[in-house]
Amino acid sequence: MTLLETHNINTYYGESHILRDIDLSVQHGEMVCLIGRNGVGKTTFLKSLIGLLEPRSGDIYLEGNSLNRMQPHQRARAGIGYVPQGREIIPYLTVEENLLLGMEALKGGLTAHRKIDSFIFDIFPVLRKFLARKGGDLSGGQQQQLAIARALLGSPKLLLLDEPTEGIQPNIVQDIESAVRRIINEKGIGVLLVEQHLHFVRQADRYYAMQRGGIVATGRTSDLSQVVVDKFLSV
Amino acid sequence: MQLILESLFNGVAIGSVLLIAALGLAIVFGLMGVINLAHGELMMLGAYSTYITQLIFKLPILMPFYNAYVIVAIAVAFLVSGVVGILLERSVIRRLYGNPLETLLATWGVSLILQQFVRSVPLAYGAGLIIALLLGLLLPIVLSKEFISNRYDRFIKLGSWSIATLIGVLTASGLSSSISKIGRASARNVDVTAPSWMRGGIDLWGITFPVTRLVIIVITLISVLSVTWFLNRSVWGIRIRAVTQNRSMSDCLGISTETVDILTFGIGSGLAGVAGVAVSLLGSVGPNVGGSYIVGCFMVVVLGGVGNLIGTVIASFSIGILTDLIGAGRLLTIWPDMPGPLASTVDFFATTSMARVLIFALIVIFLQFRPAGLFPQKGRMVEA
């Protein structure tokens, strides 16, 4: 069964039409990358998937179940992990509390789950060192790792990553890339990635290219030609 | 020594009344950012709840337990104000999140409605109404855990509301026939009489500590400690702090923000009710009793730094001690041969109301220099 399927998603900000008839699918264990220049609606699409924005028309299915008209917390519990642009760490909560909040998406929420799974610290060892620190005091790269770890603790079926390498030093970009790869291999979840970094884009299985709110090209990343790259990536 | 001790005690006593009154507001205003002008009226409801509880305990059946009514009253007041607060959040404030001016006006309107309500509705009927609301809101939650299937959801709701209404009406008529004092509407102030163990004082080191004041200090202490524990240690506390700091992301993590709003507002309002118990022990209770505390509450929360519980605690105790120092003219006692003009100025401010004027003026001046209060939020996320 297809993990995520969208049909004809149309999203508006007020009267301006942002997303036009987006059809997209992600399979289990697959990494799909959404590329396109700034302002074409990639983040808007992810926000429509998690439920922060409500599409005016169209359908979203997660493993065949409709997510339409569900609120973000219900979609999170249904199995979508969201790592937003800008990380959105809860600033005055400690790293540990931020991680605990990731488990709210599990059945029973925090009340039933109080122990942080240690595989998180295998993937991102730096987090163990900073458990008692305030989330807002971490560096950008550390916050990004925390945001991904937090999303993973909810055992999502689908992980939405919005520009995880934006404004982060190169060696941490490497860490994040290999971590995402490892998660897909070990957990078999699907990943929908919005990315500008060509190196990271090449790791995905398939790509969708967006222009002015619509999907204009799609295919396997191995077939991604230099022409397409020049056209859709701002690098 | 004796003077310092006495001054300190009086200051702490005044401060703890301020603190218990401001504690609920520190949650509602400080954490949620909702300007609730009806907070004072929620206190008033708590005070009236104490009055009714006391009258019920005077009935022959409960008379042997009369001395314990204050403890029961605290729970009752917490529930009453909490339920009214939740109702207020669901019906009015929820629609106005992010519009502080409209919230301010709407809650001011609600405060006037509540004041008129206690004037023109017999207290017994009010109590019946609250009991009906409480049961109507609670029964579906309790019952739906018993019957898991959602098919009967509508019937459960309907059934529990009708049972709740019935019990409410029965309570109202029962109360109004057995206690004639609350069977008729009255706009006059009422008096809560403290149980005998709370009258008088304890003599220590040559100073008399009034027991009422000690009880209020203890109530405040317990409330502050339990709120601190709840916010910092409990699961719901983590959720509340997450939602107040980043609402949309908390939603995306799987936290039901609506439930958190209801709970936070309910607890803040319930604490106003507990404050009402303390207020009713100090003086007579009337429809306007809340209005005289609300300004002080906002002052305390702003002075302490919005969103900072420790700041609220320190702010209220410092205001309390300052009030005693100025209001009781203690500076003159400490330094009797003060130069003439200074002495007359100190003497001029040596009444409770003039001390209030001076302290509020000082706070206004202080906030000119430190607009974020005593303990502003720090860290790299403040600017973002």
Q: What is the pLDDT of residues B56-74, one digit of tens each?
A: 887 777 677 777 788 888 9
A224 backbone dihedrals φ, ψ, rounded to 5°: -65, 110
Output the pLDDT for position A156: 92
Q: What is the pLDDT of residues A35-64, one digit of tens each?
A: 888 888 899 999 999 999 999 999 999 998
Q: Which residue of A has its CA nearest to B378?
A: A92
Contact with chain A for residue B378, Cβ under 8 A: no
Output the pLDDT for position B377: 66
Mean pLDDT of all residues belonging to chain A: 88
Give me B340's structure tokens: 């003439």
Options 3.40.50.1100, 3.40.630.10, 3.40.50.300, 3.40.1360.10; CATH for A4-232 is: 3.40.50.300
Sequence-separated contacts (24+) of A165-172 with Cβ below 8 Å? A165/A195, A165/A196, A165/A197, A165/A200, A166/A85, A166/A196, A167/A140, A168/A140, A168/A141, A168/A144, A169/A141, A172/A141, A172/A144, A172/A145
Least confident range from B146-150, B260-264, B338-342: namely B146-150
Q: Residue B157: in which H helix or E strand, if any?
A: helix B153-178
Rounded distance between C-alpha atoms, residue B372 and residue B306, angstroms = 7
Contact with chain A for residue B228, Cβ under 8 A: no
Q: Which of A96, A110, A159 to mutate to test the interface with B (most CBs of B within 10 A)?
A: A110
Output the pLDDT for position A77: 92
Interface touch B251/A73, C-beta < 8 Å: yes
Which value does ipTM take for this structure? 0.89
CA dist B51 → A101, B69, B182, B272 (Å) = 43, 10, 10, 16
Strands (E), B188-284: 201-204, 207-210
> Which residues on chain A are in Cβ contact (under 8 Å) with B257?
73
Q: How many Å lie between the alpha carbon of B235 and the closest alpha carbon of chain A?
A: 7
Rounded distance between C-alpha atoms, residue B230 and residue A6, angstroms = 42
Question: What is the residue whose two structure tokens read 């609606």?
Answer: A41
Which whole number is the average pLDDT over A86-94?
A: 88
Output the pLDDT for position B381: 43
Rounded distance between C-alpha atoms, residue A141 and residue B123, angstroms = 60
CA dist B352 → A3, B128, B348 (Å) = 70, 39, 11
Closest in B241, B251, B384 to A72, CB measured:
B251
Contact with chain A for residue B340, Cβ under 8 A: no
The dihedral sign for the CA sequence B262, B268, B272, B278:
positive
Q: What is the pLDDT of residues A126-184, one digit of tens each?
A: 899 899 999 888 888 889 999 999 999 999 999 999 988 888 888 888 888 888 888 88
> Which residues on chain B are in Cβ contact (under 8 Å) with A110?
235, 238-239
Q: Which of B238, B245, B249, B253 to mutate to test the interface with A (most CBs of A within 10 A)?
A: B253
> Which residues on chain B are in Cβ contact (under 8 Å) with A105?
253-254
Q: Taking the mean position of all CA atoms in its chain, how far away is CA A135? A: 20
Please spell the DSSP secondary structure of B70-135, one letter per residue: HHHHHHHHHHHHHHHHHHHHHHTGGGGTT-HHHHHHHHHHHHHHHHHHHHHS-HHHHHHHHHHHHH
A7 backbone dihedrals φ, ψ, rounded to 5°: -125, 120
Listed by start position, the domains of chain A span: 4-232
Q: Are B267 and B27 in contact (CB under 8 A)?
A: yes
Q: How many Å lie between the alpha carbon of A68 and the closest alpha carbon of chain B?
A: 15
Per-residue confidence at B383, pLDDT binned at 50, 70, 90?
very low
Decide which of A67 and B200 is more confident: A67
Q: What is the pLDDT of residues B154-195, one digit of tens each?
A: 777 777 788 888 888 887 777 777 776 766 767 777 777 777
For the whole model, what pTM was predicted?
Answer: 0.84
Q: How many Å lie between the alpha carbon of A36 and the closest alpha carbon of chain B?
A: 24
Q: What is the pLDDT of residues A175-234, one digit of tens each?
A: 888 888 888 888 889 999 998 888 888 888 999 999 888 998 898 988 887 777 787 776
Q: Are B324 and B347 in contact (CB under 8 A)?
A: no
Output the pLDDT for position A101: 92
Q: What is the pLDDT of residues B273-294, one digit of tens each?
A: 999 998 888 888 888 888 888 8
Which domains occur in chain B, in start order?
2-121+184-377 (1.10.3470)
Which whole number is the average pLDDT over B28-40?
A: 84
Interface touch A52/B255, C-beta < 8 Å: no
